[in-house]
Structure 1
Amino acid sequence: MSRVPATNLQLKNDSRIGVVGGGPAGSFFALHVLRFAAQKKLRLHVTIFEGRDFSRAGPVGCAKCAGLLSAGAQRHLKTLNLTLPSEIIQSTADSYVLHMAGGTVEIFPPHHNRKIISVYRGRGPRLSPLSESVNFDEWLLHQAEQAGACIKFCAVTAITAGPHPAVHTGQTGYHFDLIVLACGINGRRIQFNGFDYHPPQTKMMIQDELAQLPGQNRRIHVYFGRRRGIIFGATVPKGNFTNISLLTTDDRPSLKTVDRFLAESRAGGQTQRLCGCKPHIAVSRAQGYFADHFVAIGDAAATRLYKDGIGSAARTAERAAYTAVYSGIGAANFRRRYVPLCRRIALDNFFGRLLFASWEMTNRLPWLTHLWLHALNAVGGRLHSADRCRLALWNMFTGDDSYRHIFFSLLHPGVVGLLLTVGWRLRRGQPEIKKVGETGEHIQ
């Protein structure tokens, strides 16, 4: 028996696609949909609407993001035959340094080719602007334009449903066969007419740019610990500057928290803050993120919790583009081909919450912090299990592996045995290593 198509809503020659948002999600979608259309010998007209002013430094022209490209995001660029210009790469991190309440440990990449690249999502800090050539978002948008997309620099105010849904920019309306919402949660508020779209739940973070901090040119520092009001913090090298990102317990945190954090962590002394913003991050999946002639991607739909937002944007953009070209643009098509990916991301974030909650608990209990610090730096016969622990942390910080796989890797019998052995030695007063915070030594 032959299958009956779920819908007859298909892209055809000269179909029009409107992409709301010219960040990585929107640019990746345009690149993929035009690539898939070429494979199918389909002629499409893609228009990207971008409301940011890339000529201005600071939050106005920025995506309010730390700007880290994981190994997965870098591989995604290669699948599109894109090579980052050297001027866009601000720094390449060789390691993560984990700061806990009882000491520190340095985590090195498992392979030499798994580097973390930092970029600017705009023209740099508000008080120290850089040239336009450093803007990753603008460069990627230009790649989409070269591939055939049309770019309109204007703010979208509303999206209206219908057989040919419309994008409204002030007094002007543009009709399309498919509208792709890719503007993310930090974009301008958009009115949805006829769509039952509800954005993800969010938390507010604090970000700023500082003059380069001592000893941070090739290292990303991650802070877990009993600092007042701080869940975790991170400093990322970016050329002559350092980005600082803080997730706090406050619903509406103050930028002064940066000064307090730097003082308490002894990370920056009297370093001047050069920018400052309070971006939202998605902590849930959106509702109503697909319909006939409509789909949302990136953090407007589903994104990895806390880490690798650009990688999630690339994955959802590619899957939505493939669905639109090879399956269709109806709700049934997206439900069958696109929604499973978003559900996997949401399920994976459940394990992410478990991991971050466990680390928060670890830092509340000094004995547990001490146990993990020794386990992470174990040598001798337990080196393989310690490597497994360090790999789990690397993947947790970078987004190079799923939270689910990381979670179960830490339940491996070798890891459990390592923790029991180290705990027994500590109880007997015979630790197998010196405390890293006291010696300054790091074991790779």
Structure 2
Amino acid sequence: MGLEAQQPTAIIPLTSIASEVPRRPEAREVIQFDGVVVVGARIAGSIAAYNLARHNIPVLCLDSQDVRIETSPSCTGCGGLVQNKTMELLETIGISLESVTRQVMDGYTVHLPHGGILKVSTPGMLALDRGFGPAKGDKRLGLDAFLLQTAIKAGVRFEVDPVEKIDLGQNGRAIVTTKNHIYSANFVMGAFGHSSIQEKISVPEGYKLDSAKTQKSAVYEFAIDPDFYEKNYDSKVRVVVVPMHRKDQNALFVAFVPKGNNRVSMIVLGKKDVTPNDIINLMASKYVTGLLPEDMLGEDQRWKKPVDKGGCNQCACTKNTITTRTPEHFAVLIDGGIVNIGDSAVTRLYKDGIGAAAFNAIRATNAYINKTLPEYVQEAKSLFPPDDHIWARILMELNDLAVRFPWSERRLIYLHNGNTLISPLVREHARKMLIGEDSYQNILSGFVHHALELAFHH
């Protein structure tokens, strides 16, 4: 465990740093920075900056916002899940998430379309907030702010200064133009997510960078009646599978994440962009029955109303973006080049974005330190293939067929819960589909390979 990561944390008031943001000068001189500029100060950016700094590499981290300030328009933290492997990975570089953990989880309860239940064990999973928590009640430093603060304590120089342009390979330097300065740096780590910065990067002839394809999801957080919460929510994430062929529902996958103190985050992924009307249709459907109190879903529709007006709604976001296709080109490996990490690079599709961000940030910075970036790029492409969206679609269709009919759902439950030869494979398949531990291509090929092995040997 790293001492830096375990220091007490606090929410920084807006006024404490507002005066630090410099005004734009009339003429900007080029500032020589003999280190790495990290563009973006969320999960991937802060972890990358921290890991470089702990190896005594000068780091300048830039972002248009300071996520340590509660008024920053960042995610309030609904639905954040960290898998056990991600925690173990972070601990290898001295970061412990104990201070930002809301609840320790041990798995998933999957609610199938025809009433069946699957229980999937994933011990040691953490539920936490990306931001400062609920609109009312138990506020504390969220994951994003905690990681940035940890990086700053490790020696990272952080500035609120929006990046306007990045020119790569200019006489062996990266030229980063911000609202207030121009920096000439050794290298750039791009952790700018789905923002438009990608369009402002110029690359030398013969190189190119691609952007991720995205889709809107929805995240809601509810304050639940204490008796209902105690009775229906334990240490498991509840997942609802909605049939893909239902034309009256865009929702495809709904997760209810208990956060302690009677709080539940609801995450909705759709077949296409999720809209407010899709949430209304979902809340009127059978798929949420029993997972939220009846008085929330009845005529009063208390799920819509804010908590300060007698409702249950702590916060709602229908603009949250997820990666649905990763870029093929995300690095320019030259002096003064760039490696994109997090959501601006290859990453998990649909799920476990936190784990993918941590993995790529640590592996990419270790590769920079050890001068093995080409090997890292190939490794990242093998673990997060750019064409994995095709395999994801195939797997989703196959999984949907397995639960489309009552008889097929019963068969799946029998195979998952039973002691047949194939039951361990079915349980492992369900676990990997939920936690995002592998690419969709590897999940499918691994299942087929092991199933054929069983058939051949028996």
Regarding TM over 0.5, the answer is yes
Is 1:245 aligned to 2:267, yes or no? yes
User: Contact (CA 8 Å) 1:301, 1:342: kept in 2 or not?
Assistant: no
Deviates more, 1:152-161 or 1:295-304: 152-161
- The 3 A distance-change label for structure 1 pair 349 and 287 is closer
User: Contact (CA 8 Å) 1:52, 1:62: kept in 2 or not?
Assistant: no
Q: Distance in 2 between matches of 1:57 and 1:239?
A: 21
Aligned to 1:48: 61
Q: How does 1:205-354 map to 2 (within 5 A)?
A: 205-212=217-224, 214=229, 215-226=232-243, 228-240=249-261, 241-251=263-273, 253-264=274-285, 265=287, 266=289, 267-268=291-292, 269=294, 270=296, 271=303, 272-277=312-317, 278-291=319-332, 292=334, 293-327=337-371, 334-346=373-385, 350-354=390-394
- The 3 A distance-change label for structure 1 pair 259 and 124 is farther
- The 3 A distance-change label for structure 1 pair 18 and 107 is same
- The 3 A distance-change label for structure 1 pair 194 and 280 is same
- The 3 A distance-change label for structure 1 pair 85 and 94 is closer
- The 3 A distance-change label for structure 1 pair 193 and 219 is closer
1:22 positional shift = 1.0
Q: Distance in 1 between matches of 2:375 and 2:131?
A: 36
- The 3 A distance-change label for structure 1 pair 177 and 90 is same
Q: Distance in 2 between matches of 1:68 and 1:341?
A: 22
User: Contact (CA 8 Å) 2:77, 2:129: kept in 1 or not?
Assistant: no
- The 3 A distance-change label for structure 1 pair 239 and 26 is same
- The 3 A distance-change label for structure 1 pair 245 and 58 is farther
Gaps of 5+ in 2: 1-32, 297-302, 304-311
Is 1:168 aligned to 2:177, yes or no? yes
Aligned to 1:194: 202
Q: Distance in 1 between matches of 2:72 and 2:321?
A: 13
Aligned to 2:110: 98
Q: Distance in 2 between matches of 1:156 and 1:232?
A: 35
Secondary structure, counterpart of 2:431 in structure 1: helix
- The 3 A distance-change label for structure 1 pair 407 and 225 is same
Aligned to 1:203: 215
Spell out, residue by residue over 1:419-442, the C-alpha distance to the aligned partner (whole angstroms, 9 max, x if none).
Answer: xxxxxxxxxxxxxxxxxxxxxxxx
- The 3 A distance-change label for structure 1 pair 143 and 341 is same
Q: Distance in 2 between matches of 1:188 and 1:274?
A: 29
1:57 positional shift = 5.1
Q: Distance in 1 between matches of 2:444 and 2:36?
A: 39
- The 3 A distance-change label for structure 1 pair 132 and 101 is closer
- The 3 A distance-change label for structure 1 pair 139 and 55 is closer
Aligned to 1:24: 43
* Letter of the 2:74 counterpart: G
Spell out, residue by residue over 1:347-368, the C-alpha distance to the aligned partner (whole angstroms, 9 max, x if none).
Answer: 6665444322212233334432
Spell out, residue by residue over 1:24-71, the C-alpha distance to the aligned partner (whole angstroms, 9 max, x if none).
Answer: 211221233234xx3xxxx52101113334356588122877311011
* Letter of the 1:321 counterpart: T
- The 3 A distance-change label for structure 1 pair 250 and 44 is closer
Aligned to 1:68: 81
TM-score, normalised by the number of residues in structure 2: 0.75
Residue identity over aligned pairs, in percent, reads 24
Q: Distance in 1 between matches of 2:60 and 2:140?
A: 22
Q: Distance in 1 between matches of 2:328 and 2:445?
A: 29
Secondary structure, counterpart of 2:65 in structure 1: coil
Gaps of 5+ in 1: 1-13, 328-332, 418-444
Aligned to 2:121: 109
User: Contact (CA 8 Å) 1:67, 1:118: kept in 2 or not?
Assistant: yes
- The 3 A distance-change label for structure 1 pair 341 and 191 is closer
User: Contact (CA 8 Å) 2:76, 2:133: kept in 1 or not?
Assistant: no
Q: Distance in 1 between matches of 2:414 and 2:86?
A: 32
Is 1:370 aligned to 2:410, yes or no? yes
Aligned to 2:13: none
Q: How does 1:130-145 map to 2 (within 5 A)?
A: 130-133=138-141, 135-145=142-152
* Letter of the 1:31 counterpart: Y
Q: Distance in 1 between matches of 2:264 and 2:72?
A: 16
1:205 positional shift = 0.8
TM-score, normalised by the number of residues in structure 1: 0.77
- The 3 A distance-change label for structure 1 pair 129 and 415 is farther
- The 3 A distance-change label for structure 1 pair 52 and 409 is same
Secondary structure, counterpart of 2:98 in structure 1: coil
Question: What RMSD in Å do the two structures reach over aligned CA positions?
Answer: 2.9
Deviates more, 1:310-319 or 1:384-393: 384-393
Q: Distance in 2 between matches of 1:155 and 1:369?
A: 51
Aligned to 1:10: none
Q: Distance in 2 between matches of 1:189 and 1:386?
A: 47
User: Contact (CA 8 Å) 1:386, 1:415: kept in 2 or not?
Assistant: no
1:20 positional shift = 0.7
Secondary structure, counterpart of 2:316 in structure 1: coil
1:219 positional shift = 1.7
Secondary structure, counterpart of 2:430 in structure 1: helix
